[in-house]
């Protein structure tokens, strides 16, 4: 089973992440059970996974020629409803993974579109310029089965060269930055009386939808930035298929390949027993009483967030998002855990701390240092 495509936050399909993302949606939209909907014109029957897998190979959405027109416009204008071939690809992917959602192209209302444009416009120009050649666009659907989704666009030689980002408009519509971050960071823990975890990524004045969208988008852009950049092994390969990892310096700071078990393991697993039980969005495996111990273990690692510790792809996407947010944009990032109302543990962004110094250096080289 390959490390599946990034579908993050209640969205990136990196194996668990995919299920995770999807579940986040379900959790978020518990009021609206997702019914299987036949989408007209799909090349595969609604449950035909084999057909879907075949149809996704060499699919138009993954071919660079398909995006030539999009690539001819400035990157800030590559935003809009998902084109039909991308909607088809997403539906095939949901069939392949047994998800009931059938994504449909979404037209953003003026307010949401303004927030998306604003979220992008607020990014440091040096960051956004990194994507001119890599990002074929940010596209919107409803009913993704996740919040965000990123996947490869292959060049004529079949090598991953660019990426597209898909965001679920219906999910984004109701978000605010701190509520979204707090909700996300609570999902690995089963609720427990007296325990409370709060995430803060914006000051009160900036705690709005635009900044929720910006942080969600930064994570997906992290996945796009990894394309063709030797950051970590390709997400469409199984760990056992990975050869030497010598050319992935960022990956090697935290991960090793267990080819026998066909898994990635972190270099900290001996002192971080909670890591393999850390499942976001989808069926918490940790108890609320584990919150403080889990974060105490996390502080012994070089992962900037607990989500980063779930998979190599999300390690980089979280590192990139938090580095840009905290170091380049001087925004807050803090997790606070309380028991019976008293703070018992907290985690601040690790940039500037010895535990993240090597990742900090690589990110500076990749995206530049604070001006
Ligand atoms: Zn991700």
Which pLDDT score is estimated for 107? Answer: 83
Ligand 1 centroid–CA 341 distance in Å is 32
pLDDT at 25 over 80: no
- pLDDT tens-place string over residues 171-212: 899 889 999 999 999 999 999 999 999 999 999 999 999 999
List CB-based neighbours of ion ligand 1 within 5 Å.
Answer: 6, 8, 12, 314, 317
Which pLDDT score is estimated for 182? Answer: 97
Helix (H) or strand (E) holding 211: helix 209-225
Ligand 1 centroid–CA 150 distance in Å is 8
DSSP letter assigned to residue 329 = S
Most distant pair of Cα atoms in the chain: their distance: 59
Which pLDDT score is estimated for 81? Answer: 95
Which pLDDT score is estimated for 129? Answer: 87
Ligand 1 centroid–CA 20 distance in Å is 10
The answer to whether 318 and 307 have CB atoms below 8 angstroms apart is yes
In angstroms, the first-to-last Cα distance of the chain is: 43
pLDDT at 370 over 70: no
Which pLDDT score is estimated for 26? Answer: 42
- pLDDT tens-place string over residues 63-72: 999 999 999 9
d(CA 276, CA 267): 12
Ligand 1 centroid–CA 218 distance in Å is 10
Ligand 1 centroid–CA 316 distance in Å is 9
Query: In 3D, which of 28, 209, 204, 10 has the Cα closest to residue 111?
Result: 209
DSSP letter assigned to residue 63 = B
**Residue 45 CB burial class (10 angstroms; 0-12, 13-18, ≥19):** exposed
- The domains of the chain are located at 2-175
Ligand 1 centroid–CA 195 distance in Å is 27
Which pLDDT score is estimated for 267? Answer: 98
DSSP letter assigned to residue 184 = H
Please, which pLDDT band fits residue 369 given cuts at 50, 70 and 90? low
Ligand 1 centroid–CA 14 distance in Å is 7
């Amino acid at each position: 089973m390959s490390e599946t495509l990034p579908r993050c936050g209640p969205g990136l399909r990196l194996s668990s992440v995919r299920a995770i993302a999807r579940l986040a949606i379900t959790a978020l939209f518990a009021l609206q059970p997702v019914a299987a909907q036949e989408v007209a014109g799909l090349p595969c029957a609604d449950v035909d996974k084999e057909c879907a897998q075949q149809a996704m190979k060499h699919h138009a959405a993954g071919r660079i020629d398909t995006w030539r027109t999009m690539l001819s416009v400035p990157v800030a204008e590559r935003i809009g409803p998902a084109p039909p071939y991308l909607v088809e690809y997403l539906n095939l992917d949901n069939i392949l993974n047994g998800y009931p959602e059938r994504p449909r192209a979404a037209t953003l209302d003026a307010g949401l579109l303004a927030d998306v444009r604003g979220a992008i416009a607020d990014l440091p120009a040096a960051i956004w310029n990194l994507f001119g050649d890599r990002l074929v666009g940010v596209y919107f659907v409803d009913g993704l089965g996740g919040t965000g989704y990123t996947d490869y666009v292959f060049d004529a030689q079949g090598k991953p060269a660019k990426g597209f980002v898909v965001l679920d408009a219906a999910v984004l519509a109701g978000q605010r930055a701190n509520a979204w971050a707090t909700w996300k960071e609570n999902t690995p823990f089963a609720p427990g009386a007296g325990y409370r975890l709060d995430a803060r990524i914006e000051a009160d004045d900036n705690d709005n939808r635009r900044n929720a969208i910006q942080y969600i988008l930064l994570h997906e852009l992290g996945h796009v930035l990894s394309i063709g950049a030797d950051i970590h092994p390709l997400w469409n390969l199984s760990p056992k298929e990975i050869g030497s990892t010598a050319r992935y310096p960022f990956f090697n700071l935290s991960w090793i390949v267990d080819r026998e078990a066909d898994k990635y393991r972190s270099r900290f697993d001996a002192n971080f027993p909670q890591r393999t039980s850390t499942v976001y969005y989808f069926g918490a495996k940790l108890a609320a009483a584990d919150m403080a111990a889990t974060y105490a273990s996390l502080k012994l690692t070089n992962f900037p967030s607990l989500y980063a510790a779930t998979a190599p792809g999300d390690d980089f996407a979280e590192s990139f998002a938090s580095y840009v947010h905290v170091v380049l944009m001087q925004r807050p990032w803090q997790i606070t855990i309380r028991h019976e109302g008293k703070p018992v543990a907290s985690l601040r962004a690790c940039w500037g701390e010895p535990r993240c110094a090597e990742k900090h250096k690589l990110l500076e080289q990749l995206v530049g240092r604070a001006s």
